[in-house]
Structure 1
Amino acid sequence: MTDSLEQLRRCHFAVDLGAARTRVYVKGAGLVVDQPSVAAVNMRTGGLIAVGELAEQMTGRTPGYIRVVRPVSGGTVVDIDMAQRMLRQLLGERLRRTLRRKPRLRAAACTPHDADPLARRAAVETLVGLGAWRVELVDTLIAAAVGCGLPVQRPEATMIMVCGAAATQVAVLSLGSVVSAERIPVGGEVVDHAIVQYLRHAHELVLPSQSVRPLQLALSGTGLTPEGPARTEIHGRDVATGLARSVHVDTATVRNAVQAPLTAVLDGIGQVLRDCPPDLVADLADRGIMMVGGSALLPGFDHMLRAATGMPVHIAERPDVCAALGLGAMLEGRIEPVGLDLDSVST
């Protein structure tokens, strides 16, 4: 048993602060929070109006004095005070009281693989503000791999792709550590933006902010694959008149618009494989790539990767919560990775 894993087992709760969603795992209670990382603030008084799902519904629908903010960007806390306030609201008074009763409260948090010292410190300070005496930082790649059941502790290669809202992380793991990794600044938000720009230029249509979701909007069925539906109906606002309008869009052209930014992900996979020892690359020929993260559910994304790489591509059973579940498994002592790479910060 490693010292770092022993420290994790002493933690009382874990937080996965993502750009899209925030998840909190409490030891003994499981996943207790799974909400959008959004807060609505009254700019006149500074008061917090709503957080999570309710705040996300307010996006694009508020008067001027109400601002909808996202305190997390790309897996990094960019507004510590707002992140603390958002987490307090999401946890609720009852759960906060329960956690405060713990002597020397300990917490764990995910951080991106390439997070700089300032980003790591921001994650620590956010949880310290919730009352944590000690904070353990865990690489998101390791946590996600554990959460989807990959044998990260074995001396064999496993390849994981964490598809987030702001970025995609690709890595090869062995013996509980990251052998090679790349961060590609392409995520679900970039795909959304590509669809918005295509519809604006090709059809002079502006989409409502709440409708910019390729899973439910422009891509249905098998989405990115040619076997998907030939045409789909899109509702939005006419650029010239400002009136509501519907258009029928050829999904083949939408596929082309979406695949352009996703090409960068293929380049990242190639770079990771080039940086790996040949023996580990040979292991991946059979095991392939495991996709996790909310954007892994983009229809046809796995088919595209399979066709481009010639490797098996799998999507985790619950891809959006793998990192939080991985942290939970470590807290509960259900796994003993070898050589787990953690950084702990004592306060």
Structure 2
Amino acid sequence: MTVSLEQLRRCHVAVDLGAARTRVYIKGAGLVVDEPSVAAVNTRTGALIAVGTFAEQMTGRTPDYIRVARPVTGGTVVDVEMAQRMLRHLLGEKLRRQLRRKPGLRAAACTPHDSDPLAQRAARETLMGIGARRVELVDTLIAAAVGCGLPVEQPTATMIIVCGAATTQIAVLSLGAIVTAVRLPVGGDAIDHAVIQHLRLQHALMLPSQSVRPLQLALHGNGLSPMGPESTEIHGRDVATGLARSVLVDTAAVRDAIHTPLTAVLDGIGKVLRDCPPDLVADLAERGIMMVGGSALLPGLDEMLRASTGMPVHIAERPDVCAILGLGAMLEGQIHPMVLDPLAE
């Protein structure tokens, strides 16, 4: 999965197929697509009904013959045909015509760290569905580090945490390469599941499929810290009767439920630091940790990591789009690696 910057400069389009959102960057035009990775299909006819935001709004509200599919899980394409159809409709006819005018269309895609050959092949086949003749794969950690402005090409350590919907990736970078990294099956979806399970077990309350995010927003007074509101009123459906009802939820208990999946992130940081050379750990104590990804916006998460690690923790300016912007910067030729000339003998 190693690719040179010279090869990336020849690419015309960059795609970040995430479990939550799909983003497309076109060289010279910038970020043109930023939509949920969701497609709604009529199972009787096989026709595609909706993609993106409208398809996400249909989740849990469709009749039996309409299936809402998510063709990407954890940054890996699990349904290539559906992902191709979704991507073509997200681009639209106008953008597809522009891409078809390029006979030797080259594309670049973000893939999770340490992805297996099958996942890489699925990503390539998905982009070939929009007419790409060649597809270059770039590690999400490298692209996100470039997108948030980290000096990855310098001989100093930088730690980055990519907090995605289905996975969390943690890495230490130096001289434009990954020194040590780990990928954890914990992300924003695991936090949602923890909240749903807590309300179901403790309050016999079922939430609509799209109301977990508002619940987290209600806790966002000070996020995971104890300075937030003491209680929050939650509306849902009673497990036993099926009737709508409201309960007053102790936010401290919900914060405890959210803490449980986040302990795996702390364990991952500890593992990366243990595998890292001592000189680079000394750099990290001064430079700290950079957080990117949509789940990095959970207020209080940076404070929890700061308290647990003792290192400075920063959140990128636009954490949700760092990976695709970094890939776009590579396409535009804005990144210049440090040149290491061999010493003359």
Scaled by the length of structure 2, the TM-score of the pair is 0.96
User: What is the CA distance between 1:103 and its match in structure 2?
Assistant: 2.6
Measure the CA separation in 1 of the matches of 2:338 and 2:247. 55
Residue 343 of structure 2 is matched in structure 1 by: none
CA deviation digits over 1:258-289, x for unaligned, max 9? 00110010000000000000000000001111
User: What is the CA distance between 1:4 and its match in structure 2?
Assistant: 1.2
Residue 304 of structure 2 is matched in structure 1 by: 304
User: What is the CA distance between 1:316 and its match in structure 2?
Assistant: 0.4
What amino acid maps onto 1:294 in structure 2? G
Secondary structure of 2:150's counterpart equals coil
Residue 162 of structure 2 is aligned to residue 162 of structure 1 = yes
State percent identity of aligned pairs: 80
What amino acid maps onto 2:193 in structure 1? H
Q: Does the 8 Å CA contact 2:3/2:137 hold for their aligned counterparts?
A: no
Measure the CA separation in 1 of the matches of 2:303 and 2:234. 24
Residue 248 of structure 2 is matched in structure 1 by: 248
Measure the CA separation in 1 of the matches of 2:214 and 2:324. 24
Measure the CA separation in 2 of the matches of 1:145 and 1:47. 39
Listed as ranges, the gaps of 5+ residues in structure 1 are 340-347
User: What is the CA distance between 1:337 and its match in structure 2?
Assistant: 3.2
Structure possessing the higher relative contact order (Cα contacts under 8 Å, 6 or more residues apart) = 1
5 Å-filtered alignment, 1:119-138, equals 119-138=119-138
Measure the CA separation in 1 of the matches of 2:266 and 2:3. 37
Residue 81 of structure 2 is matched in structure 1 by: 81
Residue 58 of structure 2 is matched in structure 1 by: 58
Secondary structure of 2:307's counterpart equals helix
Measure the CA separation in 1 of the matches of 2:280 and 2:34. 35
Measure the CA separation in 1 of the matches of 2:3 and 2:321. 26
What amino acid maps onto 2:286 in structure 1? D
What amino acid maps onto 1:81 in structure 2? E
What amino acid maps onto 2:134 in structure 1? R
How many residue pairs match? The answer is 338
Listed as ranges, the gaps of 5+ residues in structure 2 are 340-345
User: What is the CA distance between 1:220 and its match in structure 2?
Assistant: 2.1
Measure the CA separation in 1 of the matches of 2:117 and 2:200. 40
Secondary structure of 2:151's counterpart equals coil
5 Å-filtered alignment, 1:1-347, equals 4-213=4-213, 216-338=216-338
Measure the CA separation in 2 of the matches of 1:270 and 1:229. 31
Secondary structure of 1:126's counterpart equals helix
Measure the CA separation in 2 of the matches of 1:32 and 1:181. 31
Provide runs of 4+ in structure 1 moved above 6 Å.
Answer: none
Report the more deviating stretch, 101-110 or 2-11. Answer: 2-11
CA deviation digits over 1:287-337, x for unaligned, max 9? 111000000011211111011111100000000000000000000011123
CA deviation digits over 1:221-280, x for unaligned, max 9? 111001111111111111111111111111110110000110010000000000000000
What amino acid maps onto 1:247 in structure 2? V
User: What is the CA distance between 1:41 and its match in structure 2?
Assistant: 0.2
Q: Does the 8 Å CA contact 1:26/1:328 hold for their aligned counterparts?
A: yes
Secondary structure of 2:94's counterpart equals helix
Secondary structure of 1:213's counterpart equals helix
